[in-house]
Amino acid sequence: SDILISLDEQFAQPIEKREKTYEFRKYKLSEETKRLWIYVRQPVAQLIYIAEIDKAVEYPNKISEEGLGNKDFNQGLKVSKFAYKINHLYKLVNPIDSKQLKSKYNISPPQKYTFVSR
């Protein structure tokens, strides 16, 4: 399944630059979740990325220390206790702004996450 999440630009940029190799969450997503659709909040306000992810790694299990936030996760310093490895990242050629998301797809940018139907 696919899930739409919202990120601040400061967290989306390191994903695009491949400096951040995991997305960290306070909650566990469904085991069926294979893709994160990443909406970048204001001032960007667009759906820009789709990330293919692995199943959650739950703290105290360890992940590779290479990547922004990974060492903190392994040391239990993050509030987020679930890490999702970003295997592939796709940047949309034509990002979708919040107005289009609502009018065309009836999706509002979520505070936490929302399911994306195909």
Instruction: Please name the helix (run of DSSP H) or strand (run of DSSP E) that holds residue 98, with its range, or none.
Output: helix 98-105
| 49-78 per-position pLDDT tens digit | 999 999 999 999 999 999 999 999 999 999
Return mean pLDDT, the chain: 95
Classify domain 2-116 at the CATH class level: mainly beta
**Cα separation of 11 and 27, whole Å?**
18
The pLDDT, as a whole number, for residue 117 is: 67
φ, ψ dihedrals at 87, nearest 5°: -80, -45
Q: Are 9 and 40 in contact (CB under 8 A)?
A: yes
Bridge-based pairing state of the strands 22-25 and 46-53:
unpaired
The pLDDT, as a whole number, for residue 118 is: 54
**Cα separation of 89 and 9, whole Å?**
16
**Cα separation of 35 and 89, whole Å?**
10
Q: Are 76 and 65 in contact (CB under 8 A)?
A: no
